[in-house]
Every structure is written in structure tokens, then in C-alpha cells.
Amino acid sequence: MADEPVQRGLQDVVALESQICFIDGKKGRLIYRGYDIRELAEHSTFEEVAYLLWYGRLPTSKHLDELRRRLGGLRELPEPVVRVLAEMPVNANPMDVLRTAVSALAVYEPAETQPGSSSIGGALRLTAVLPTILGYYHRRRAGLPPPEPNPALSHSAWILNAIRGTEGSELEIRALDVALILHADHELNASTFAARVTASTLSDLYSSVTSAIGTLKGPLHGGAAERVMELLEEVGSADRAEETIRAKLSRHERIMGFGHRVYKVEDPRATILREWSRRVGQAKGNLRYYDLLRRIEEVVHAERGLYPNVDLYSGSVYTLLNVPKDLFTPLFAASRVVGWTAHVLEEYQDLRLIRPTAQYVGLTDLSYTPIEKR
């Protein structure tokens, strides 16, 4: 393998076969198990999409009720994990908190962590409990009482309730539900790949999700939405967009929320979230973020021909839902956990250790010098 061309960042490398998610980067299409994301965002719920990703087919009403009932019943945190959370500094990074809590959970739930298990019990548990961890952490730092798991709420309503103490209006819940549907899976993105690499060693589901959370944290992946809101704060008003963006580009800075490894046209998730950003903004009488983002889009496209990705508009929707910006990436995790776990379960069905090779460019013929002679 010594003289094979190196595919930096594994770009365009087809690493495995999967039946979960298809991205057509040239046409801007995203498909979950055969269904176009636009149809799912229009008609389905997050729970339906979770069922689809895990089981490979849309649920009947009976299956969906059963799934909702099971998720609703798995929201409580074990007492020792609550104690782990209570020990964390209130200014800890929420993704560090999430990663640590999932890792700690594994210690107390050994039945769910059998390596190679094809049971979706662990997937349900992690999906149900991530919002509780977030809510617990956030409410504690805000000096508020801990979230009280309510099994009757939908996943999105529970997330809003766990963070804010109230699930809010139908529009708010639906806006979050659509955002979660759009984030639930995305083929072999970096965090899903990390989860599959971990699973491919026949490690367990909780370890795989812990790897994925650490990978999602980076600003080139899940951390971009938060940076977009920082950009909006920096730009301030639409008339300053051109000057600010041009200055950044001339300093070779990346504009967060633009560009994608796979999409060569607009990310279909950005198209849907743009509309939701407008819809929620209008309902709340605040179109400032939407207008500013539209202007930034025009400038970035004119200057570099780049298209928005999913992260450009998600932060504006979350901000309008009163979710603090350091919880955007954890929210992403609370949705993508479905994709991670679906991929891990698929990995176990067709297991092959993921272990690429490197092109060695170092030295080979040095002779050892005793330490006293160096």
C-alpha cells in the first residue's frame, strides 16, 4: 500500500455499505431509508423518523404508540449519574457534560452495553435520556429545580420542557421536531463514522455514542450553529454584513454554516430550516435573524459561491425557542443519537474492523543512540 494516493480526510472514500441514509450531493437530496427528507419534514414526527431509521420501515400507529410509550418511560436518570452531574462545574462545556454522563451511564446499565447486541434497548434508552442530562445540567447552572420527566410528552416537547421548564406552543414544538428530523442522520458524517469505528472493534453501544459525542463537538461538525449565532452578533445589522464577511474572507477565515463535504448545491436541510426560521421569527415578531442570515447568504454566495449547510439556520430557530447557544450542539446530539445508534446496530450486523492504513512519510533507517550519547 506504500504508494497508494492518500485520500486526505478520507474524502470520497467509500468505506462501507449501508441501507440507512443516502445523500445525493449533486442534486441536494437527502434520503432516510428510501424517504425524501422533504416529505419526512413535512409529514412525519421525530419518533416516526427514529422508528424508520432503527427498523427500516415506517411504523404503524400501534408501533408508534409503543415506541413513544417506551421512550417516555426511559427518561429518568439513575441516582449515581445525577450525582456525577451534580459534581460538575456549572461553567462546564455542555458537550463535555453530555459525553461524561453517557459514559457514566454505561457503568450503571451493564445490560444495555453488551457488545454486539442487536437489541435496540440501548438506542431507546440513550435517545430518551439525553434531554434529561441536558435539562439537568442547564437548569442546575441556572439555579432552577431539576427537570421532571413527563412520559406523556413527545421527544421534542420533552426537550423544550427539560431545558425551559415548559414545552411551549404547538408551533415551537413542531419547529424543534422538524429540526430534529433534519439532524437525525447523515450517512457517514464524522461523528457517525467515529461511532461505527468504535462499534467495529466490537465495543458496546454506549462507548460508540461516547466517541460520537466527542466528535460532534468540533466546530467543523456540530459546533458550527453556535458559531453562526456568534457571527450574527458580530455582524449586528444587515448593512454591515458585506463589510464583515469580506474582511473575514480576506483573512482566510471560514464562514460558519457554509460549505459541505458532500453537497455541491444547497443542503436540503438548510432550505427547510430557512423557512422555519422565517415562520418562527414571524410568529414571534422577530425576523432580525432571518433577515441578517439572508443577507449573509447573498454576500457569501457572491464572494465564494458557497451554499448554506444545515447549521446556518438551525441556531436562529433554537434562539427563537429560547435555547441558549451552547446547547445547540447538545440538541444536535439529542437528535443524531438516533442515527448513531442505527449505524452501530447496522455495523454489528455486518461487522468488519475499520482499520485503514497510513502512507508512512517518516524516516526508517536510523540507528539507536544510547541516552547518554544524545
Q: What is the rounded (10 degree) CA torsion for 150, 154, 156, 159?
A: 10
Minimal distance in Å, beta carbon 300 to ligand ACO? Answer: 7
Q: Is 272 in the site for ligand ACO (CB under 6 A)?
A: no
With H, G, I as helix, E, B as strand and everything else as coil, classify residue 89.
coil
Q: Is 256 in the site for ligand ACO (CB under 6 A)?
A: yes
Minimal distance in Å, beta carbon 170 to ligand ACO? Answer: 27
Give the C-alpha separation, 137 to 100, whole Å: 12
Q: Count Cβ atoms below 10 Å from residue 291 Cβ, excluding itself.
A: 15
Contacts of 175 (CB under 8 A, 6+ apart): 276, 279, 280, 317, 320, 321
Write the binding mask 164 to 203 for ligand ACO: x where contact by CB under 6 A, - elsewhere: ----------------------------------------
Of 29, 139, 141, 261, the one binding ligand ACO by CB under 6 A = 261
Give the C-alpha separation, 194 to 49, whole Å: 22
Minimal distance in Å, beta carbon 271 to ligand ACO? Answer: 14
CA dist 367 → 253, 359, 363, 364, 370 (Å): 44, 22, 11, 9, 10
Minimal distance in Å, beta carbon 249 to ligand ACO? Answer: 6
Q: Is 347 in the site for ligand ACO (CB under 6 A)?
A: no
Q: Which residues between 295 and 324 bind ligand ACO (CB under 6 A)?
A: 304, 306, 309-311
Query: Which of 102, 179 has the CB closer to ligand ACO?
Result: 179
Write the binding mask 203 to 222 for ligand ACO: x where contact by CB under 6 A, - elsewhere: -----------------xx-
Give the C-alpha separation, 228 to 233, whole Å: 9
Query: Which of 71, 317 has the CB closer to ligand ACO?
Result: 317
Residues carrying an active site annotation:
221, 260, 311
Unique residue bearing C-alpha cell 448593512: 239
| C-alpha cell, 111 | 445490560
Q: Is 336 in the site for ligand ACO (CB under 6 A)?
A: no
Angle between helices 328-349 and 190-200 (to 10 degrees): 40
Which residues of this chain interact with ligand ACO, rule CB under 6 A?
Answer: 9, 220-221, 224, 254-261, 304, 306, 309-311
